Structure 1
């Protein structure tokens, strides 16, 4: 097999890293693998790589245009604007790689610049289990090769006519990149731990309508511990929420732990530590039920969801609409769990393909190597 030059783009927040890092490591055993990114410290990226002792990955930091960098700084942007970065570096990207890997949809300018050429190949990785309509982007058809997590993923893409020429089901590589066996303790008691994990998008998120009321509810009760760990984007530029609105008393309460976007919030640390999941439409709930446990969902928009595949999450537990309903939902969470345990297992099997004697990352690397060798 001929060694290939493969570039992984890291142009997003850190929650994308664990969706590609272990596959990049596997590919680096037989290929020249680079992580292509912007100038910066990249502490979490290097920390993630340090977990793998035998990788041969290069991290290549490329600048955007000097004027765009200047305006990005003026606007206090955490990340460079991807389109301008692509344009500035397109000759390097198109001439030095056999394949480039994306975890999101910022490929358009590079695809246009590639024109009718067949190289580099564009490979698409998801950055979360399929759930809302965001997962079903028509731009999927721009890619030469698609990694899919499981049979549900494949069937949904087939029904929505989003399967490209080379879709491959490999499983869920993120579980190869994080430590699922280590359970961290955040409280000095043995009370049940509720993880409140609101999404950052206002049309779907419970935070904007009732988030502070939910924190107040947990502050005033003593039966449960609460971890408040929202989507990493909620209190960043993309979500736009201001942490100053969260009262100091919540940060100081012994039975409440708050993380508004650290590295631990993208490593399944809080999912492993929790007894009950509380949220709306975050695909993190699919990671939570890898070990089946009670879930409570908040329908802030009062949508009719029963036969809507965008709300498939809500088959996994009780759905409430108001904060006052939390009391009974929590009280009954463990006794009602038997009603949801089997559907949780079934949906996990549908979501994430598994096979004996290999990991998802190994299967992904084998599939990519085969594809690139043939094409």
Structure 2
């Protein structure tokens, strides 16, 4: 059977959620002919992770680029309209048509069936992240032929939304956890202070960046108590204009000038490989964020978390904000300063809660998640 893995996005943050599965399918040998289809933006991260993994690598195919018209439309809208991503799908239909299955970490690829007519192509969704945002459980989430789930939480949310197909899902764990640990590099900071990672999401409806981000950076610039890693979601500053669909909101994105924060206790990284492979969530002692699913990667090792709620969202009891139960929620800079007046410590009760939340989100077993995912794909295709 011919199985393709598609990485067609403006950034490489989705690669680690699916590439380990492609590498595992390749390792299994002749049961599947595997190829990796990449856009120009995603190719460097695909090749970096494939090299780090070692072993046999599937064929990596550079997709035909989007049309000049699509690129112009994308630029004219500040990248708010993904015309280039859709155009790339259109200009490579022959490659997708030659496959039996296409594995994707995103939802735009559903257009291959709904708009471009590739009805016999099986679409497998790895999802990316194990977060709680409503958009992860919208109607599009139930339109894939096979969905690979990180754990019981995702299964339960999809089932509650009546989006789970009996023969079209499998709990496989979290393939991103299978990527090799980055070799220890130089120390991130010269001084031994508690290290905070600030990880705002790009969604203007949910992100703390638009309401508190610059003030937070200014506060840490003056701090003598903490080191700060500013590692936002890599898409936060990729677009001049960001649109949020659920709920609808618009945000103009102007990133911090790195030379404005040239302090030895601040590290600003808006998109390097280290911001993709859990380097910073592993290195930090304290997490500050809002809607990013990376908090679940952070609490793999329980540690203090602070969540920023400048919009004063009524979050308690809302499953879309279940991750905020893993820490303290603050609404203003004064409340954040108070929370950091002394180094936060994790209580025994919060430690246990984070462990429970992690286990509910990730079904990890002795076997690697990528191996379980590969077997789920092969088993599904064998039934077709």
- Structure 1-normalised TM-score? 0.91
1:46 equivalent in structure 2:
47
2:2 equivalent in structure 1:
5
CA distance in 2, matches of 1:277, 1:41: 27
Native 8 Å contact 1:122 1:145 kept in 2: yes
Native 8 Å contact 1:317 1:340 kept in 2: yes
1:58 equivalent in structure 2:
59
The answer to whether residue 282 in structure 2 is matched with residue 279 in structure 1 is no
Q: Per the alignment, in what secondary structure is the counterpart of residue 100 of structure 1?
A: strand
Deviations 1:258-286 (A, max 9, x none): 11111110111110110000111111000
The answer to whether residue 185 in structure 2 is matched with residue 188 in structure 1 is no
Q: In the superposition, relative to structure 1, how do residues 70 and 127 fare at CA in structure 2: closer, same or farther (>3 Å)?
A: closer
1:365 equivalent in structure 2:
374
Q: After superposition, where does 1:1-375 map in structure 2 within 5 Å?
A: 4-12=1-9, 13-29=11-27, 30=29, 31-39=32-40, 42-64=43-65, 66-68=67-69, 71=72, 81-94=84-97, 96-112=98-114, 115=117, 117=119, 119-164=120-165, 165-179=167-181, 182=184, 185-237=187-239, 239=242, 240-243=252-255, 245-246=256-257, 248-250=259-261, 252-332=262-342, 334-356=344-366, 358-375=367-384
Shift of 1:88: 2.4
Shift of 1:72: 6.2
Q: In the superposition, relative to structure 1, how do residues 105 and 51 fare at CA in structure 2: closer, same or farther (>3 Å)?
A: same
Q: Per the alignment, in what secondary structure is the counterpart of residue 148 of structure 2?
A: strand
CA distance in 1, matches of 2:379, 2:352: 36
Native 8 Å contact 2:67 2:87 kept in 1: no
CA distance in 1, matches of 2:295, 2:317: 19
Deviations 1:25-65 (A, max 9, x none): 00112221111123568222211111122223111122146
Q: In the superposition, relative to structure 1, how do residues 65 and 188 fare at CA in structure 2: closer, same or farther (>3 Å)?
A: closer
In terms of mean alpha carbon deviation, does 103-112 or 131-140 score higher? 103-112
Native 8 Å contact 1:68 1:84 kept in 2: no
Deviations 1:296-337 (A, max 9, x none): 111111111111011101100111111011222124553353
In terms of mean alpha carbon deviation, does 74-83 or 202-211 score higher? 74-83
Shift of 1:355: 1.6
CA distance in 2, matches of 1:178, 1:303: 38
CA distance in 1, matches of 2:203, 2:66: 30
Native 8 Å contact 1:294 1:333 kept in 2: no
Deviations 1:314-363 (A, max 9, x none): 1001111110112221245533533411110000000000122x100011
- RMSD (Å) for aligned C-alpha atoms: 2.4
Shift of 1:181: 8.1
Deviations 1:227-270 (A, max 9, x none): 11111111111645223x547331x1111111111111011111
Q: Per the alignment, in what secondary structure is the counterpart of residue 340 of structure 2?
A: helix
CA distance in 2, matches of 1:285, 1:112: 33
Q: Per the alignment, in what secondary structure is the counterpart of residue 37 of structure 2?
A: strand
CA distance in 2, matches of 1:219, 1:304: 31
CA distance in 2, matches of 1:355, 1:146: 19
Native 8 Å contact 2:304 2:345 kept in 1: no
CA distance in 2, matches of 1:41, 1:106: 15
Native 8 Å contact 1:64 1:80 kept in 2: no
In terms of mean alpha carbon deviation, does 314-323 or 108-117 score higher? 108-117
